[in-house]
Chains A and B, each alone.
Chain A
């Protein structure tokens, strides 16, 4: 230990701040449809015709306003996935669990969500899945509890 090192130690601390986020008029429509109707809405660019989820009020490629909504899914296909095996305080559920990129029917972008009711070893790209909605919905993306293999 050097002369300098003997002075070094660590002080415990934290960073704690509450935040609130506004979905805005456009984003709220998507979340409210999830909550009230258990429907998944996508939005359609008037220029390139792409259907996006999660919704956005403008197409980042064409940079035009989006106003059209279309119902998409509820079924979709697994585009990619990973199995989460470590524990972190911020993870939504206990590991191991599957996070999947899901291309819902009628959408041109993928939704990241949980995939459950399936052995992680059995998950395959291209697998057909469907959403399981939560019983107590609060206008949050977790109003879709998770996706499961389609029956």
Chain B
């Protein structure tokens, strides 16, 4: 046993860091551009089953048809599910640890019928409840870049 302990066990550390460019394609591009240019949240609506997709996708996964109809949704809606996360994890897009706690939520925007995810500005679970209303807070004019972070978070409306 002691002999085994004496042996050096080599460990090699490496940082994988690869720059990427993600193409939006026309569907995501339109969705993100509307947020950037007009602070509008738009979904696309399946011509067959009628459900809205958010973020929009070029086909409806349920019906396998191309989705070209767009509708504007209210930048506010209802929280259907949320997570207050206390464990810091590494964000692969930045290589940095996330600051905790933070709250992510699934939100059903008024006029839509699938939820989508973003951050909430409340991190105290006692102040959160499923069914609460919230509203998008956009980054200031001139600072929006056509990215998910153009919505800073959703502000929880507490009465």
How far is A140 from B15 in the complex, measured between Cα atoms in Å? 16
Are B19 and A14 within 8 A (Cβ)? yes
Annotate B82-107 by CB proximity to A: 1 below 8 A, 0 otherwise: 00000000101111000000000000
Contact partner of B26 (CB less than 8 A), chosen from A8, A21, A24, is A8
Main secondary structure of the interface of B (DSSP, over half): mixed
Nearest chain A CB to B9 CB, angstrom units? 5
How far is A140 from B13 in the complex, measured between Cα atoms in Å? 11
Are A139 and B8 within 8 A (Cβ)? yes
Contact partner of B21 (CB less than 8 A), chosen from A10, A20, A24, A28, is A10
Are B14 and A18 within 8 A (Cβ)? yes
- Contact residues of A between 103 and 151, Cβ < 8 Å to B: 139-140
Nearest chain B CB to A9 CB, angstrom units? 6
Is B129 on the interface with A (CB-CB < 8 A)?
Answer: no
Q: A15-B17, A18-B15, A21-B14 in contact; A28/B23 too (CB < 8 A)?
A: no
Residues of A within 8 A of B18 (CB): 14-16
Contact partner of A32 (CB less than 8 A), chosen from B10, B11, B32, is B10
Is B62 on the interface with A (CB-CB < 8 A)?
Answer: no
Chain B contact patch, size range: 20 to 34
Nearest chain B CB to A127 CB, angstrom units? 30
Is A4 on the interface with B (CB-CB < 8 A)?
Answer: yes
Contact partner of B15 (CB less than 8 A), chosen from A10, A16, A21, A25, is A16
Residues of A within 8 A of B22 (CB): 10-13
Are B9 and A16 within 8 A (Cβ)? no
How far is A45 from B81 in the complex, measured between Cα atoms in Å? 58
Q: How many A-B residue pairs have CB under 8 A?
A: 106
Residues of B within 8 A of A24 (CB): 9
Is B147 on the interface with A (CB-CB < 8 A)?
Answer: yes
Are A13 and B24 within 8 A (Cβ)? no
* Interface residues on chain A, number (Cβ under 8 Å): 28
Contact partner of B23 (CB less than 8 A), chosen from A8, A20, A31, A140, is A8
Residues of B within 8 A of A4 (CB): 26
Q: Which residue of B lies closest to A21 (CB)?
A: B12
- Contact residues of A between 19 and 41, Cβ < 8 Å to B: 19-25, 27-29, 31-32
Having A8-B24, A9-B146, A13-B20, one finds 13 other A-B pairs with CB under 8 Å, namely A7-B33, A9-B23, A9-B33, A11-B21, A13-B93, A14-B92, A15-B20, A16-B93, A17-B15, A18-B14, A23-B10, A24-B9, A139-B10
Contact surface of B with A, Cβ cutoff 8 Å: 4, 7-27, 29-30, 32-33, 90, 92-95, 146-147
6 shortest A-B CB distances, which residue pairs? Answer: A16-B95, A7-B29, A4-B26, A23-B10, A7-B30, A16-B17
